[in-house]
Amino acid sequence: MSIVFDNLTVSYRRHPAVHHIRGEFAPGSMWAVFGPNGAGKSTLLKLLAGAFDEKLSDIKPDAGCIKWAEKATIGYYPQDHENDFDVDMDLTEWMRQWGQEGDDEQVIRGTLGRLLFGSNDVVKKVKVLSGGEKGRMLYGKLLLLRPNVLIMDEPTNHMDMESIESLNMALEKYKGTLIFVSHDRQFVSSLATQIIELDGKGGYEYYLGDYEGYLAKKGLA
């Protein structure tokens, strides 16, 4: 599902985080968002998510607009997701709440298994999970929601290598649109088909190719 944005501008503490940015995320494309710390990468993802559903983010643009395709459904993976797990539930109970019509107990358990949680893990309380385990659970929620657009902010944070590889393999098979921020260059290299780079001063540049092509154009290959 395409997402079109025009003249998108937002400032953070009087500094332009995103400035007059224009573009389109086409269906099935996989976009990595690059830039130095504080360049507005997370802000851009929050703007996109909030334009779809204001419950996902309260950040609104100072100017410009975002138009989501009518049939778009979104899965949002924020960088800070601790509040999602501040509940007295075990893993199965937590995951069950995101099941769709027709998803039986086997589907819920199967989802947990794909996320590398064994039979002894599923009775744990979600409150006691590590950061990486919470990240895997959040991705499981998105699997069950079956969105056609995924917006993911540093999804590999706190994950061990096995978890990252599991997430990577799942996203390689994903048929929808993916927009993500990650400092994990191997993760980016395996997924990104296009790149948008924010310069930290409100400017931006598109690279219509994969990560290796981006490095070559930057003279870093």
pLDDT of residue 28: 92
Domain range for residue 190? 1-73+147-221
Query: Of 146, 161, 177, which residue is a domain's last?
Result: 146
Q: pTM value?
A: 0.89
User: Are 60 and 153 part of one and the same domain?
Assistant: yes
Is the domain of 116 the same as that of 209? no
Among 119, 146, 173, the domain boundary falls at: 146
Give the domain CATH number at 55. 3.40.50.300
3-state secondary structure of 97: coil
pLDDT at 13: 67
The residue assigned the tokens 């086409």 is: 26
Supply the pLDDT for residue 38.
81
Q: How many domains does the chain have?
A: 2
Decide: 211 and 188 in contact? Cβ < 8 Å: yes
Same domain? For 64 and 154 the reply is yes
Give strand ranges (E) for 35-86.
63-68, 74-77
In angstroms, the CA 209 to CA 193 distance is 5
CA dihedral 79, 113, 101, 138 (to 10 degrees): -10
Round to whole Å and give the CA distance between 76 and 90.
Answer: 22
- pLDDT averaged per 10 residues in sequence order, the chain, 221 residues: 83 74 90 89 91 88 90 91 91 95 92 89 92 90 93 91 86 92 92 91 86 86 66
